Structure 1
Amino acid sequence: MNIHFIAIGGSAMHNLAIALQQKGYQITGSDDTIFEPSKSRLEKRGLLPKAFGWFPEKLSANIGAVILGMHAKGDNPELLKAKELGLKIYSYPEFLYEQSKDKTRVVIGGSHGKTTITSMILHVLNYHSVEVDYMVGAQLEGFETMVHLTKENEFMVLEGDEYLSSPIDLRPKFHLYKPNIALISGIAWDHINVFPTFENYVEQFSIFTDSLTNGGIMVYNEEDVEVKNVVENSESPIKKYAYGTPEHTIVNGTTFIETPDGEMPLEIFGKHNLQNMAGAKWICQHMGIGEEEFYEAISTFKGASKRLEKIAENNSTVVFKDFAHSPSKVQATTNAVKDQYAERTVLACLELHTYSSLNAEFLKEYEGALNSADKAVVFYSPHAVEIKKLEEVSAEQIKEAFNRDDLIIYTNPEEFRNYLFSQNLAETAVLLMSSGNYGGLDFDKVKEFLQ
């Protein structure tokens, strides 16, 4: 079967293209620009388009399927040609469902934690040599691609994103998977450009819950009020399994978890990560992994890429990089670092980078998010606000939104870098939270700074 990708360079799209090529499909694709690491990975496999741009002539009647990425627009020339030819057009999640409709589908949803939980599950299964198909939103240690598809594996583990499926399919991705086993980790308003009200956003998780197959299993975080309401009020014929924060202690910067065999040290830390682990444990047990086997494997889990990732450390300083940008993630991550390093100064630096976080109306959701940090810095680019065609936000608005008088605010990348590298970081835990790079911060320079 020949498959053509419109917008092949995306993080998820290029991984799916590689996975399908490995499965034996003939793959072609286009994009108007492709960045690293997608570019090198596609080139290595002979999948990098010869020229950037859209070329309707690539589409012909012998194309078995077209997969449309979110980066493409509704009037994309290749999309219009595909429609004209009557070709079958799939969104990314639609095609994943097609590839897994005869398997047991395990879908991990939630406003936060889904990448980490999916990563934990795959780590445990990989540790015990259990082969499964999967799609996860981060590059994992020990896994070549973020997507893996076979004919023979029984399970398909999917990270269930609530964002839209494609420019012509405006349903959230996780509505399309029809899970046999599912999990919801937490609900905190996000993607306000798509879900303008909190109620509208929460509704997507109710639809997800009701999309489970009859008799399906829903694992849910009962410590999250919204999740508890959504799942426990569902009248669908499903089985419900609640989880919460497991018993644990922190000793000299290491978290120990209570297990049937006594205390066990973990590589990960933070209340949110312990909840993530409890959810992952339930899922693994429903997939046939025993409790003892789970604990043996999870003790070696170091975390998902860019999720409380330790990028530098010496005797008195530790630096973490985290993808956190939404209010609930920022608060959970900052709290986790302060709990783990209670005796140290916590310097938390947050870049407001996404559409939601730069929205003047949404800013108030950040109130208290950085309160557990000893020093708090917010960086944002007025240019990014301009590009996203948003109402201008001022430093005063940001300070007021976070409700923290000593909040330090930078809009100039160089001034932020100068501040960071001028600090005495002895006995300090530094937390760099962003889905960007603070206007060009070289994270390797941060590592060198500590040497």
Structure 2
Amino acid sequence: MRIHFIAIGGSAMHNLALALHDKGEQISGSDDAVFEPSKSRLKAKGLLPENEGWFPEKITADIDAVILGMHAKADNPELLKAQELGLKIYSYPEFIFEHSKNKTRVVIGGSHGKTTITAMILHVMNYHNVPVDFLVGAQLEGFTNMVHLTKENDFMLIEGDEYLSSPTDLRPKFHLYQPNIALISGIAWDHINVFPTFENYVEQFKIFIDKITNGGILIYNEDDAVVKQIVEEAEKPIRKLPYTLPEYFIENGVTYLETLDGPMPIEVFGAHNLSNLAGAKWICQNMGIDEAEFYEAIASFKGASKRLEKIAETKTTVAYKDFAHSPSKVKATTEAVKKQYSNKKLIACLELHTYSSLNAEFLTEYQGALDAADTAVVFYSPDAVAIKKLEEVTKEQIEQAFNREDLIVYTNPEEFKSFLVVQDFKDSVLLLMSSGNYGGLNFDEVQQMIE
């Protein structure tokens, strides 16, 4: 097939382009800006557009499919040309469904834990040499791409996020996959620029449940009250399998999972990761991996990239980077690290970077999110607020929102970096939570900072 990508440089889009290229399809694409690592990865495969911009002359009648990325606009000249020629145009999730419509689709949904659960399942499948097609939201250790597609594999494992499908299709992505096996890890209001109320956000998960194929399986976190309620109320003819936080204990900085064969040390920690593990186990069991095989494999799982990723360590100090940015994730991650290292000082730094986190009305959702930290720091860029065309957020608003008198707030990247440089990190844990980089912080330098 000849396939053209409009907005090929996106994280998900370029991975799909690479996967289809590896599958043997003929790939072309355009974008008005391509950044690293997409740029180098596309260039290595000969897929990087020669020039940045949109070129309707690239759109010709012999193209079998056009895949439209969210970065493009509805009036994109290449899209308009494709529509004029009557070409088959797919959103990203539409194409994934088209590829997997004859496979067993396993879709992992939820406001948090999606990437980790998907990564756990892939780790287990890879350990036991069970090949599966997949789509995951982060680069995983041991896997070249975030997307892998074949003709022969029976399963398609999909991280199903609730963000919009394309500029011309405003349905959440996970509404389009029609899973045979689904999981919901938890519901905590997010993407407020798209889902303005909590009720509207919850409704998306009700629709997700309704999209499961008749006779399918829904695995759900019954510790989450909202999830439990909507699953129990759902009338869809499916099997409903609940999971809950498993028994565990921490000894000398190591987390042990209680199993039928006795305590088992694991590499990951924190209640949210152990809950994710319980969900992943149910999924794997429904993909043909028994409990003993699951435990054997999961013991060596070190975590997904940017999800409580250890980035530096000395004899007395350790530093973690985490993608946490929504209130529930920040709270869970901070509490998990403090519990794991109860005898160390926790310095927790959060960057408010997303549309939701920089919204003045939404800020109040962060109350208590950093309470478990001994030292709590919040960084945000007034420029990011301006770029997102939001109302100005003041330091006072942030201090009030977190409801913590000793909260340290920085708006200047250099001042924040200087704060880190002068800290005495002995017997401490440094936790850096952000979906950004604190205005240009080089995470590779953190080892030098803590030494």
Q: Same fold (TM over 0.5)?
A: yes
1:22, distance to aligned residue in structure 2 (A):
1.2
* Displacement of 1:249: 0.4
Give the corresponding residue for 1:193. Answer: 193
Separation in 2 of the partners of 1:293 and 1:371? 38
Partner of 1:180: 180
Match of 2:114 in 1: 114
Using structure 1 for the length normalisation, give the TM-score.
1.00
2:262 aligns with 262
Q: Distance in 2 between matches of 1:226 and 1:209?
A: 13
The letter for the 2-side match of 1:70 is M
Task: Give the aligned residue type for 1:299.
Answer: A
| Residue in 1 that maps onto 2:327 | 327
Which amino acid is the alignment partner of residue 205 of structure 1?
Answer: F
Residue 420 of structure 2 aligns with which residue?
420
Percent identity (aligned): 73
Aligned partner of 2:26 in structure 1 is: 26
**The residue matched to 2:371 in structure 1 has which SS?**
coil
Q: 1:80 aligns to what SS in structure 2?
A: helix
Counterpart of 1:422, as a letter, is V
CA distance in 2, matches of 1:411, 1:144: 36
How far 1:421 sits from its partner (Å)?
Answer: 1.0
- Corresponding residue for 2:87? 87
- Secondary structure of the structure 2 residue equivalent to 1:183: strand
Look up the SS of the partner of 1:325 in the other structure.
coil
Residue 6 (structure 1) aligned with residue 6 (structure 2): yes
Shift of 1:449: 2.2
TM-score, normalised via structure 2 length:
1.00
Please give the secondary structure, in 2, of the residue aligned with 1:145: coil
Structure 2 equivalent of residue 439 of structure 1: 439
How many angstroms does 1:260 deviate by? 1.2
Q: Kindly report which structure 2 residues correspond to 1:341-356, keeping only aligned pairs within 5 A, or say none.
A: 341-356=341-356
3-state SS, counterpart of residue 51 of structure 1: coil
Corresponding residue pairs, total: 451
Return the alpha-carbon distance in structure 2 between the equivalents of residues 134 and 308 of structure 1: 22
Q: State the Cα distance separating 1:12 from its structure 2 match.
A: 0.4
Q: Given that residues 175 and 208 in structure 2 are in contact (C-alpha distance below 8 angstroms), is that contact kept between their aligned partners in structure 1?
A: yes
Letter in 2 for 1:198: F
> Deviating runs (4+, > 4 A) in structure 1?
none
2:383 corresponding residue in structure 1: 383
2:258 partner SS: strand
Maintained 8 Å contact 2:420/2:449: no
- Does 2:230 match 1:223? no
Give the structure 1 partner of residue 290 of structure 2. 290
Q: Which residue of 2 aligns with 1:394?
A: 394
Q: For residues 38-63 of structure 1, what are the alpha-carbon distances to aligned partners after superposition, in whole Å with 9 as ceiling and x for unaligned?
A: 11110010100000000000001001
Q: Tell me how large the CA RMSD over aligned residues is.
A: 0.5
Structure 1 residue 448: Cα displacement: 2.0
Q: What is the Cα deviation at residue 83 of structure 1?
A: 0.7
2:304 aligns with 304
1:128-152 deviation line (CA, Å, top 9, x unaligned): 0000000000111111110000111
> 5+ residue gaps in structure 1?
none
What is the aligned partner in structure 2 of residue 74 from structure 1?
Answer: 74
SS of aligned partner of 1:9: coil
| Deviation at residue 21 of structure 1 after TM alignment | 1.0
Residue identity matched to 1:3: I
Which residue number corresponds to residue 138 of structure 2?
Answer: 138
Cα distance between partner residues in 1 of 2:447 and 2:10:
29
Instruction: Give 1:201 shift.
Output: 0.2
> Which whole-Å deviations, capped at 9, do the CAs of 1:291-339 have from their partners, x for residues lacking one?
0000000000000000000000111100000000000110010010001
The offset of 1:232, in angstroms, is 1.0
Contact 2:221 2:244 in 1 (8 A): yes
Q: CA deviation at 1:450?
A: 3.0
1:373 equivalent in structure 2: 373
